[in-house]
Amino acid sequence: MAALLARGLLRGALRAGQRCASGGRGGEVDKAHRASAAGEDAGGQPTIFSKIIARSVPATILYEDDKCLVFRDVAPQAPVHFLVIPKRPIPRISHVGPQDTELLGHLLVVAARTAQAEGLADGYRLVINDGKHGAQSVYHLHIHVLGGRQLGWPPG
């Protein structure tokens, strides 16, 4: 796995306080409300993430195996910000069941190993947004991994 992680690794270059072009938190909340209103929360429709998996949309891929894909967030909220997604589309964390136990554990292990490979020895945060009120703007389960600076609390 380490060899796969080493290929294509690019260190985050953003300064700690830099905000994304989408308007930061307000922009993501607005996107989440629009996605929910459009019915994307029900799943079944292609998402930007399914297009990244299919390689029809480019991404900086950090790791891939038969179950998941890891790539850099295009609007990073920390110096290191990547996403871990299952290849099997699951619209929301609230839609998982007992059959997903192994996959969810695998996603967390891959997140931890990728964080280590990215040099996040001082710690990092894992975030899963769920639904409109959780500010989920892409309805394909994904784990945000953020680090490279001191993160504040509470997060929202």
H-type alpha helices, 2-152? 2-6, 24-37, 48-53, 101-117
Asked if residues 17 and 76 have their Cβ atoms less than 8 Å apart, the reply is no
Q: Reply yes or no on whether 95 is catalytic.
A: no
Please tell me the distance from the alpha carbon of residue 48 to that of residue 57, in angstroms, as a whole number: 7
Q: Which of 95, 133, 140, 142 is catalytic?
A: 142
Asked if residues 28 and 135 have their Cβ atoms less than 8 Å apart, the reply is yes
Catalytic residues: 142
